[in-house]
């Protein structure tokens, strides 16, 4: 079955967009900001914080980067107006890094500045490996300019991550630790599940020991249990960590963490550019075949 799922995952780009939307819908709040805000409000009522993410990446026209920045700014305004326990995540390829890096930094800086004026936080998502260096460089530059309302992401599948964490620690960074979602070559990335897990555990230990704010972003049961045990072992106070999960993934486990009293945040993507994000999520879904069959059945009945 696992092999069959892997085969189906490879065929995903061939599926009609309508089907991808039907199956990937659970991972996305909707196409509009209002959809994301409604979702964040519902989570807030249950004691869960949010990260709002305007879907979009790899833009090739400057006007699209500007449009993305405007939408991201609207998110900041709405979070502040509604006093939501939420922050913003952004992707540099959506802010035009491939078009004009310096202008892209300008947009990022503007958003972080707007967030600071409202007492909010911005996380720079980590994309595929061609962008690792520049993402870290932009993060350092913001910190040098005095912005401390900004955080970074470290991917446990990258072999370089240990060195990156070591060199970032003097800045007392706020780090989200995830496995990493992109397909990377074996020279730079661990490929096996065990290796990625081992590195995740080592990096998590480094972060918790050093006392920086750590966002534990995983749904992997083995890693969640390891994290719970490590948090107890290092007696980490609640202000220093949070668990983070993606909308639509393991909601029952998210709820359990909350009931146990852990700080929990859910990542809520929204927007019209849902296709690339949905494909990545579907590839990671172990029950992808069943979901596609169910969606096909639903679409068939709607026709
Ligand atoms: C809050 C947050 C932010 C992230 N930010 C980034 C980032 O900036 N850059 C980046 O490269 N990656 C990011 N990721 C993605 C991350 O790198 C992984 O790809 C993703 O979280 C799956 O890895 P996992 O640790 O959950 O382990 P997995 O082994 O993939 O999953 C563990 C279990 O979770 C369940 N599960 C996982 N995914 C799905 C799914 N799509 N549908 C249904 N069930 C599923 C399954 O039960 C699976 O067995 C982020 C993840 C989270 C939670």
Atom of ligand 1 at shortest range from CA of 265:
1
Q: Up-side HSE of residue 151: CA atoms within 13 Å toward CB?
A: 19
254 lines ligand 1 (CB under 6 A): no
Q: Which pLDDT value is given to residue 71?
A: 98
Catalytic residue from among 53, 123, 164, 176 = 176
d(CA 49, CA 123): 14
Atom of ligand 1 at shortest range from CA of 156:
17
Domain edges within the chain: 29-273
Query: What is each CA distance from 131 to 101, 125, 138, 217, in whole angstroms?
Result: 11, 11, 11, 20
DSSP assignment of 48-95 equals -EEEEEE------SHHHHHHHHHHHHHHHHHHHHHT-SEEEEE-TTTT
Tell me which fold the domain 29-273 belongs to.
TIM Barrel (3.20.20)
Ligand 1 centre distance from Cα of residue 102 (Å): 31
Q: Which pLDDT value is given to residue 290?
A: 78
126 lines ligand 1 (CB under 6 A): yes
Positions in the chain whose pLDDT score sits under 50: none
Q: Which pLDDT value is given to residue 265?
A: 98
pLDDT tens for 167-212 read 999 999 999 999 999 999 999 999 999 999 999 999 999 999 999 9
Which residue minimizes the CA distance to atom 11 of ligand 1?
Answer: 180
Q: Which pLDDT value is given to residue 291?
A: 76
d(CA 204, CA 209): 8
Q: Which pLDDT value is given to residue 13?
A: 82
Q: Which pLDDT value is given to residue 292?
A: 75
Q: Which residues contact 297 (CB under 8 A, 6 or more apart)?
A: none
pLDDT tens for 276-296 read 899 889 888 888 777 777 777
At residue 242, the 3 state secondary structure works out as strand
d(CA 104, CA 85): 27
Kindly report the pTM of this predicted structure: 0.95
Known catalytic residue: 125? yes
Q: Which pLDDT value is given to residue 12?
A: 80
Mutate to test the pocket of ligand 1, among 12, 218, 295 (most ligand atoms within 8 A of CB): 218
Q: Which pLDDT value is given to residue 287?
A: 83
Q: Which pLDDT value is given to residue 299?
A: 61
Query: What is each CA distance from 92 to 41, 56, 101, in whole angstroms?
Result: 27, 10, 9
2 lines ligand 1 (CB under 6 A): no
Q: Which pLDDT value is given to residue 162?
A: 98
Q: Which pLDDT value is given to residue 298?
A: 66
Catalytic residue from among 125, 164, 197, 281 = 125
């Amino acid at each position: 079955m696992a092999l069959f799922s892997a085969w189906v995952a490879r065929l995903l780009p061939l599926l009609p967009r309508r089907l991808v939307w039907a199956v990937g819908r659970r991972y996305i709040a909707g196409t509009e900001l209002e959809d994301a805000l409604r979702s964040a409000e519902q989570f807030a009522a249950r004691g869960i914080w949010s990260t709002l993410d305007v879907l979009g990446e790899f833009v090739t026209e400057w006007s699209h980067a500007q449009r993305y920045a405007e939408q991201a700014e609207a998110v900041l305004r709405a979070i502040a107006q509604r006093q939501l326990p939420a922050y913003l995540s952004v992707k540099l390829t959506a802010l035009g890094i491939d078009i004009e890096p310096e202008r892209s930094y300008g947009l990022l800086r503007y958003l972080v500045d707007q967030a600071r004026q409202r007492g909010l936080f911005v996380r720079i998502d980590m994309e595929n490996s061609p962008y690792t260096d520049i993402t870290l460089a932009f993060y350092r530059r913001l910190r040098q300019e005095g912005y401390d309302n900004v955080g970074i992401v470290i991917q446990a599948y990258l072999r370089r991550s240990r060195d990156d964490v070591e060199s970032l620690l003097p800045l007392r960074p706020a780090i989200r630790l995830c496995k990493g979602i992109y397909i990377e070559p074996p020279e730079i990335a661990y490929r096996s599940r065990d290796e990625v897990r081992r590195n995740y555990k080592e990096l998590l230990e480094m972060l918790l020991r050093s006392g920086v704010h750590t966002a534990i972003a995983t749904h992997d049961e083995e890693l969640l249990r390891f994290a719970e045990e490590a948090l107890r072992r290092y007696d980490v106070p609640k202000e220093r960590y949070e668990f983070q999960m993606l909308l639509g993934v393991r909601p029952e486990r998210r709820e359990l963490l909350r009931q146990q009293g852990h700080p929990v945040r859910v990542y809520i993507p929204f927007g019209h550019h849902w296709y690339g994000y949905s494909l990545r999520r579907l590839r990671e879904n172990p029950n992808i075949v069943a979901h596609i069959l169910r969606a096909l059945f639903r679409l068939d009945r709607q026709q």
